[in-house]
Amino acid sequence: MAETNVFALAHKALMSAQIDEKIALTHNLHALNLSQKLDYNQEFAVEKILNPGRPNKPKLAKFADMPARDNSDIGFIASIHAICHIEFNAINLALDAAYRFQNMPDKFYQDWIKVAFEESKHFSMLNNYLLELGYQYGDFAGHNGLWKMTTDTDYDVLARMALVPRVLEAKGLDATPKIQKRFRSSKFSKMVGILDVIFADEIGHVKIGNSWFHYLCQQRNIEPLITFDALVQKHIGSNLRGPFNIEARKLADFSAQELDYLQNI
């Protein structure tokens, strides 16, 4: 009998170190999700995961040690690789949310499985473009900042929802228009269209994170903005840095109060 436990399947995809297998397992999870064949009732052992499944390359380096990317051809290709690396990590982030937090409504898992599937599509689009250019994922170093925040927030679904979609993914909304402008005036302008697809989906991902963050705050009877600020201070240690894409954040359901907070920190 085929495995239908959502937590076991998410964990299997999360821990797969082979790119093609991880994507195939994520797509299978998404298909079972769409056909409503997943079992949410059976528990599955939850462990701290310091290293999710990923290939031997890229070599991981500290963010501070990453080389600056200039406007040479190799600089642009390295930038494409960096975005590809973000999307690969984002698959694992979404799968971890579905695997780890096993006391949430069914809709929570459905949402994060959808996110994982869309992140896998983004990764494939970017890696296919790298292949067109004579490169592939793993040819440049990558940093581990995204996964570090995942392990830092694995103790509480509220902290995860506050800081991964609402801070890390939302930073992508802030940065994308500027990145597109850089690619638009280069010979790698195909990236503009790829980033249009990613940008539209990422608004939805941040919106999902916002929805669950506010759901949890309401469930726990705590004030969202005070809670968010406390978690930012705890895990990031400094004020969030702009500039912020206010229109995109509005589409992702940041409240007027939250946007005011961001613009005045």
Q: Give the SS3 label for residue 40.
A: coil
Tokens of 95: 């799968």
| pLDDT in the model for residue 1 | 45
Distance, CA of 218 to CA of 222 (rounded, Å) = 6
Name the maximum alpha-carbon separation found in the chain.
Answer: 56
Q: Is 261 exposed, middle or buried (0-12, 13-18, 19+ CB in 10 A)?
A: middle
- Which residue's structure tokens are 């996964």? 147
Nearest to 78 by CA among 87, 86, 69: 69
- Which residue's structure tokens are 């949410």? 40
Cβ 237 vs Cβ 152: under 8 Å? no
> Which residue numbers in the chain have pLDDT < 70?
1-2, 62-68, 239
Digit-coded pLDDT (tens) for 156-202: 999 999 999 999 999 999 999 999 999 998 999 999 999 999 999 99
**Mean confidence (pLDDT) of the chain:** 93
Q: Give the SS3 label for residue 27.
A: helix
